[in-house]
Structure 1
Amino acid sequence: MPTTAPTSAAARPAGLAILALAAGGFGIGTTEFVAMGILPEVAADFGVSIPSAGHLISGYALGVVVGAPLLTALGARVDRKFLLIALMVLFVVGNAAAALAPTFTTLLAARVLTGIPHGTFFGIGSVVAAGLVPAHKRAQAISMILVGLSIANIVGVPAATLAAQTLGWRSTYWIVVGVGALTLALLAVFVPRTPPAPQATMRSELGALKRVQVWLALLTGAVGFGGMFAAYTYIKPMMTEVAGLDVAAVPLVLAVYGVGMTVGNVLGGRLADRRLMATMYASLTAMIVLLALFYVTARHPVTAVATVLLIGVAGSALVPALQTRLIDVAHGAPSLAAALNHSALNLANAAGAWLGGLVIAAGYGYASPNLVGSVLAVLGLGLMGASGLLDRRRHAGRSPAPAPVTVR
């Protein structure tokens, strides 16, 4: 008896599934990065200092760091689609709790809760997206999910920051709740059911942590990417106090940074599919130069905004390359490794925010985190260089032995 054509989500184009995942990236990016734009409003509302309000960024990062390995390992045997939906439900609940928080402590707790599904969503989503396209386009598919996060900085973060200035900071989290609800619908309709690999277990996923190359890639993200966050965390006071821009211009600066992130993600994905390691070296080198330069250019509005754009490009080009590198070096445990990438990036977020706050609190000024960021990028480049050296040694060890020389 003839069968009818499939009408399930599995039969739908891969592009729609990636679009649904990118919508989740948009919501996650909005709630992650909008905190930088509303720190003064939150600090004033709860009567805390701006550096203390910066703990909301570190708290979110802590949630990512803890949640990514925990939820990925626990969900090793769960259908990828169902796991993604469950993660987005938790994300919506966390943002609603943030919007309703009566005290700074409860807001901080809500931020930690909101961060818990972040890494697993991007990690599982990256593996699902990579499996929907040919092997030579994996990094591009991963980069498109991250483009959702980048577009959040063009549209979501500036819009939410503007809403905070007119309707109060709580409105930003209600906006994200709406985005999360829309993402849930898109995931349900467009993402195909994707059973985990037959050999996938909590033990097999945790096995990725035995590999030195996995740790080197994670440390590259945790340290090197921290350079960008050291600067970006304090972008609002840097633009208003150092560059002399009006506070009303801050949403535009955030949008410029989002444009840079979008370009960087797309460019990084394309370049990583061609030359993976070279893309990471180039991105980190560019970050070193640009962050050091930002210490000077931050003092004039035009050069400050131009440098913000370029930092967005350089920093974001690193992420799809790192994600692809981790999937490669993790071998049979790609989900956990890809999720841990976002734990590493949020450790970078926390460390960058903390170190940047230290130099500001020490009296070195709002431009000083840029120099901290440049040093962190130098350390990240060194770690990636060590990873590349191990690769070369391994390949050299596998080269065929030379033919024996016959003595006549």
Structure 2
Amino acid sequence: MQLHGNSCYGCGVTRRFAPTALMLGNLVTGCSVLAPAGMLPELASGLDVSIHAAGLLITFGAIVLCIGSPLTAWLTSRVERRILLTTTLAALALGNLASAFAPDYTTLLGIRLAMLAVGALYTPQAAGTAALIVPAERRGSTIAYIFLGWSLAAAAGLPLITLIASHYGWRAAYGEIGALGCISCLFLLMRLPGGLKGAPVDLKTWAEVGRSRIILLLLAITMLQMSGQFVVFTYMGPLLNKLTGAGPNAIGLVFALYGVCGFLGLVIATRIVDTAGPYRTSVLFTCLLLAGMTGWALGAGTLVLMAGAVAIWGLGFASTNSMQQVRLVAAAPPLASATVALNTSVLYIGQAVGSAVGGMLFAREQLHMLGFVAVGFVVLAVILVIVTQPRPPAAAKA
């Protein structure tokens, strides 16, 4: 990617706060994508559908996101970034506000799909924009910092969504996300420098991506990591209720534990990635992810064990994805606009696959099986992480 005119390096205060503005936009995006998981019982009751049907809001939304991410990256690659990102956040804000007034399930689903078709832009373009506003040596830590927004969505957003939905209804929860989206949009408009453009994405770029073995393997890792997590995550609230009898407050606390640990994990990853390197950092947090998923599978039925497993799982969930972004940018910097968009796309494919598999098992009351299926996906991800270990310089020359 390239910066036209290098204007951002003289932007002073505006540039210093730009990564924070981008991070808060990811918070809104994360809340918009994950919101149904925090209020499945309220959605099911309020819309007169099953919990499985309510969970399909996540599955269908992920399908739209996985298609929309690379498509919109291609269609909008020449658009100035501040205009592009603030417009996307405005669409997310309006979509959530409209969702608060949806009269039935079909209307809510339609609003969600339209909102996420536009929202698919934000996360990959925010990561790509980070590469335009910081020096190369700070790129990894800045991308990881911007992904703190997703951690905050889980750490603070989901517990608040669960709390608001259980006390004031799901419509109030959507209204709160919409209000947050409006604030974030204005903050980004004020802080992100103008005139930022990345390298255009064309068909030649996609062809180069398809010929790269390492990029394809990294994308497969992302899909497997997310598939494993969303087998369980989509239905985590109802699973805790059915397996342990946990109520809304206890479920909200587990979501908070998941998110807080995710936040801590990403802070640690942000601090060590520039010295330990993205590969070793990725191995560490993918193994934590596997340990947490295994703990959930083996401890299913006991709230304390499941909560402890969620804490370990949380340490890995956001860090693994941010490391995938960093590794993709490092693998082929000129292709970063395309690879970051594709990584986000396969992330959403993983969400769609995982939530669909989890939904089928949940509908068949195979509640304990969800954890073991999730572990299987993550084991495959660990194997591929090891396969993609960079070769030492001496070996590469030989």
One-letter identity of the residue aligned with 1:343: S
In structure 2, the residue matched to 1:122 is 123
Q: Which moved more, 1:218-227 or 1:92-101?
A: 92-101
Asked if the contact 2:66/2:346 (under 8 Å) is kept, the reply is yes
Q: For 2:19 and 2:244, how far apart are their aligned partners in 1? A: 38
Classify the secondary structure of the residue corresponding to 1:102. Answer: coil
Asked if the contact 1:208/1:337 (under 8 Å) is kept, the reply is no
Question: Of residues 325, 328, 338 in structure 1, which corresponds to 2:327?
Answer: 325
Distance 1:275 1:193, change over 3 A: same
Question: Of residues 344, 354, 357 in structure 2, which corresponds to 1:355?
Answer: 357
Classify the secondary structure of the residue corresponding to 2:100. Answer: helix
Asked if the contact 1:62/1:115 (under 8 Å) is kept, the reply is no
Distance 1:270 1:131, change over 3 A: farther
Indicate yes or no: 2:345 matched with 1:339. no
Asked if the contact 1:94/1:114 (under 8 Å) is kept, the reply is yes
Distance 1:7 1:284, change over 3 A: closer
Q: Which moved more, 1:89-98 or 1:247-256?
A: 89-98
% identical equivalent positions:
27
Q: For 1:312 and 1:369, how far apart are their aligned partners in 2? A: 17
In structure 1, the residue matched to 2:188 is 187
Distance 1:277 1:46, change over 3 A: same
Q: For 1:272 and 1:229, how far apart are their aligned partners in 2? A: 26
Counterparts in 2 of 1:5-404, with a 5 A limit? 10-197=11-198, 199-210=199-210, 211-273=212-274, 274-365=276-367, 367-388=368-389, 391-392=390-391, 398-399=396-397
Deviation at 1:7, TM superposition (A): 11
Give 1 or 2 for the bigger CA radius of gyration: 1
Asked if the contact 1:18/1:145 (under 8 Å) is kept, the reply is yes
Q: For 2:396 and 2:39, how far apart are their aligned partners in 1? A: 54
Asked if the contact 1:74/1:202 (under 8 Å) is kept, the reply is no
Q: For 1:266 and 1:49, how far apart are their aligned partners in 2? A: 38
Q: For 2:254 and 2:158, how far apart are their aligned partners in 1? A: 10
Distance 1:9 1:233, change over 3 A: farther
Deviation at 1:169, TM superposition (A): 0.6
Q: For 1:28 and 1:12, how far apart are their aligned partners in 2? A: 25
- In structure 1, the gaps of 5 or more residues are 1-5, 401-408
Q: Per-residue displacement from partner, 1:205-258 (whole Å, max 9, x unpaired)?
A: 434532222221111111122211212111112222212322322222111111
Q: Per-residue displacement from partner, 1:162-211 (whole Å, max 9, x unpaired)?
A: 221222111111111111111111111101124324x5243354345322
One-letter identity of the residue aligned with 1:203: L
Q: Per-residue displacement from partner, 1:39-59 (whole Å, max 9, x unpaired)?
A: 111112222211121110012
Deviation at 1:28, TM superposition (A): 1.3
- In structure 2, the gaps of 5 or more residues are 1-6
Q: Which moved more, 1:53-62 or 1:13-22?
A: 13-22
Q: For 2:204 and 2:173, how far apart are their aligned partners in 1? A: 39
Q: For 1:212 and 1:270, how far apart are their aligned partners in 2? A: 29
One-letter identity of the residue aligned with 1:225: M
Asked if the contact 1:264/1:316 (under 8 Å) is kept, the reply is yes
Q: For 2:8 and 2:78, how far apart are their aligned partners in 1? A: 25
One-letter identity of the residue aligned with 2:391: R
Classify the secondary structure of the residue corresponding to 2:391. Answer: helix
Kindly report the root-mean-square deviation, in angstroms, between the aligned alpha carbons of the 2 structures: 2.3
How does the TM-score come out when normalised to structure 2?
Answer: 0.91
How does the TM-score come out when normalised to structure 1?
Answer: 0.89
Q: For 1:240 and 1:201, how far apart are their aligned partners in 2? A: 46
Classify the secondary structure of the residue corresponding to 1:175. Answer: helix
Distance 1:396 1:116, change over 3 A: farther
One-letter identity of the residue aligned with 1:156: G
Deviation at 1:104, TM superposition (A): 1.2
Q: For 2:391 and 2:118, how far apart are their aligned partners in 1? A: 36
Asked if the contact 1:98/1:107 (under 8 Å) is kept, the reply is yes
Q: For 1:298 and 1:247, how far apart are their aligned partners in 2? A: 18
Deviation at 1:308, TM superposition (A): 1.0
Asked if the contact 1:9/1:189 (under 8 Å) is kept, the reply is no
Aligned length: 390
Distance 1:208 1:191, change over 3 A: farther
Q: Which moved more, 1:61-70 or 1:286-295?
A: 286-295
Q: Per-residue displacement from partner, 1:317-369 (whole Å, max 9, x unpaired)?
A: 2011101111122331212211222211111111111112222233322x321
Asked if the contact 2:229/2:374 (under 8 Å) is kept, the reply is yes
One-letter identity of the residue aligned with 2:307: V
Q: For 2:357 and 2:394, how far apart are their aligned partners in 1? A: 40
Q: For 2:87 and 2:19, how far apart are their aligned partners in 1? A: 17
Asked if the contact 1:43/1:53 (under 8 Å) is kept, the reply is yes
One-letter identity of the residue aligned with 1:399: K
Asked if the contact 2:227/2:351 (under 8 Å) is kept, the reply is yes
One-letter identity of the residue aligned with 1:167: Y
